[in-house]
Amino acid sequence: MHLGDARYKLYFGDPSITTGKITPGLLPFLGPKKLIYADGRGTGSQTNVDFEDWESTASARNVVFVWPNGDPLDAGAEGYIDDFHFLAPTGSLDLQVMYLAITDGTVPPIGAAAVLLNP
């Protein structure tokens, strides 16, 4: 997601962590979600992000998903989150919404939305 200037953030799943994976399973298990940032100013660019501007995946932050009541998703529910993308529907980065496909790994995925609490 573009954060302005030459700054971006990237959410990704880590499939090397298999806690919560159903075996055998028919649905893709992407693992827990992680977050890294890039800042083009690290290599001197005010307008572009190069590969070396990204943080390493080893330093990625864990992303915590919670249900509306505040309970965290279990490892299986989080690991099967797929097809996620982000929008800033008001044009402000103060409100970021994630659209995603969610399942527990046993039923077909359904579309859902999540509001980022600490964008």
Q: What does pLDDT average to in each consecutive run of 10 residues of the chain (119 residues)?
A: 90 94 90 95 85 94 91 93 90 92 90 85
Q: Which of 111, 88, 116 is nearest to 4 (CA)?
A: 88
Q: Residue 118: its pLDDT value, please?
A: 75
The answer to whether the bond into 28 is cis (omega within 30° of 0) is no
Q: Residue 12: its pLDDT value, please?
A: 94
Q: pTM of the entire structure?
A: 0.85
For residue 99, give the 3-state DSSP assignment.
strand
Can you read off the two tokens belonging to residue 93? 């980065």
Q: Residue 16: its pLDDT value, please?
A: 95
Tracing tokens 């859902």 back to the chain, one arrives at 112
Q: Residue 119: its pLDDT value, please?
A: 59
